[in-house]
Structure 1
Amino acid sequence: FGFWNWVGGRYSVDSAVGLPLVPTLGPANFADFLAGFHALDRHFVTAEPAQNVPLLMGLLNVWYVNFFKATSHAILPYAQYLHRFAAYLQQLTMESNGKGVRLDGSPVTTETGEVFWGEPGTNGQHAFYQLIHQGTQLIPADFIAVANPAHPLTDGGVDVHELFLANYFAQTKALAFGKTAEEVRAEGTPEAIVSARVFKGNRPTTSIIAPALTPSVVGQLIALYEHITFVQGSIWGVDSFDQWGVELGKQLALQIAPAVAGDAAALEAQDPSTQNLVGYYLRHRS
């Protein structure tokens, strides 16, 4: 199965490259997956700007990066099957917009790109949410949830998914509205630690919630972030479809490989730092 040479790997899952998913998901589910892409594509092309979700989210991301100096963006899914979604978006977004020159070859004059990162649900709450809530950096965050879990789970008669979603709603509320010193004092908190328990709020979040995590919804989510990435790249004037930073590393790896294999001349041709690193490896290789 062929596909166009202008389809980059990070944009290719809904091309012929994605056909290996068919034996795993089944033809009907794969068709639903593609339908999700198509629905979001049509929305991006036809929706008015004020209702165009990828356009609005892309504009917000540019706003956060260029006017509020945000350097990273958190992806926080409250759906376990999306536990690798942030990692997927890392390549899509950072490989696309991590550029220092415009399409015409001139250097950019603004910041471009953000570090995308994240973990699912309560894993993140007990790891890095502290930085998002009370740190000095502005970190926009996208919260993703579904109304119906893939596998309902109860514990002692309690619907675990409902508790999970209570955390989803609570986090976005806390980030939006925070907690004032007066509210902290009203809880009887000693004055010496009041300031440590104040939350400024006004931390930007976007909440995405779907009825269930169907193949169509996954397709829509991927397409959503593809178009967000395109919007940002278009405003910055960069080429969101090349990745020369990746290519340089590949080229240098081919040059260094003979040195790693013990070729003295190839090692001598390297810069001093690389010589020392490869030399250490050669001396300690078993």
Structure 2
Amino acid sequence: MDINKIKQASTVIAEQIETRPTVGLILGSGLGVLADEIEQPVKIKYADIPGFPVSTVEGHAGQLVIGNLQGVTVLAMQGRFHYYEGYQLDEVTFPVRVMKDLGIETVVVTNAAGSVNRSFEPGDLMLITDHINNVGSNPLTGPNNKDLGVRFPDMSTAYTPALQDLARDAAKKFDISLKEGVYVWNSGPSYETPAEIRMLQTMGGDAVGMSTVPEVIVARHADMDVVGISCITNMAAGILDQPLSHDEVIETTEQAREKFLLFVKEIVARLN
């Protein structure tokens, strides 16, 4: 990863804001509505930031929104990038590098995910306690720049334990039945087959999606704290006798909107 490219992007962002953000928010499919809650927002299109890819997926607005949320200056990605869009993993994770260069030390990562766990239901929120990289690729592949992180980062606490406790307490405040589990990253863009879902159940997965893990790996490489939330949008293939579609994903995130907003805003407030 070229540090100069990171600094070019962070400089463009820094020149447009008065206060440096301390928390980064990565908002998944249908969850970008949280960025609309940010006060005194500065909005910067990805296309206007050097080195940033452009979101191509429905439900991803494709811009940074920087401002005040619950008394905290945040930088929100209203839409993310995916491996399946044809981007390399260093491109997918480039915004995380830029967040770190801006001084952000905590990342709240969200996604829409299918449930592998039969006890979950669409509309549930799941605290990510761990993940499985089921893609066979890693954003840290290639030469390591020691100024960005160590060659072999420890992933035994990829999702910061103290932030998991903070999230549990935030859920209790609003009586949210927070599920917990392991998120599996598959490349997509095709949904899994029923046989693949049975395999993921055997592996210990609880939810499956097409994002998040690359960003978390890079955040931990950069020694950033991470808390992850999945919005369960559907039961994975073979669990129910029905086809899967992205329309269902967007529809379910809209139904879970109020609960999601309350929960993540409370998490951010507690990071102050």
TM-score of the superposed pair, with normalisation by structure 1: 0.27
* Higher-Rg member (1/2): 1
- Structure 1 or 2: more helix by fraction: 1
- Per the normalisation by structure 2, the TM-score is 0.28
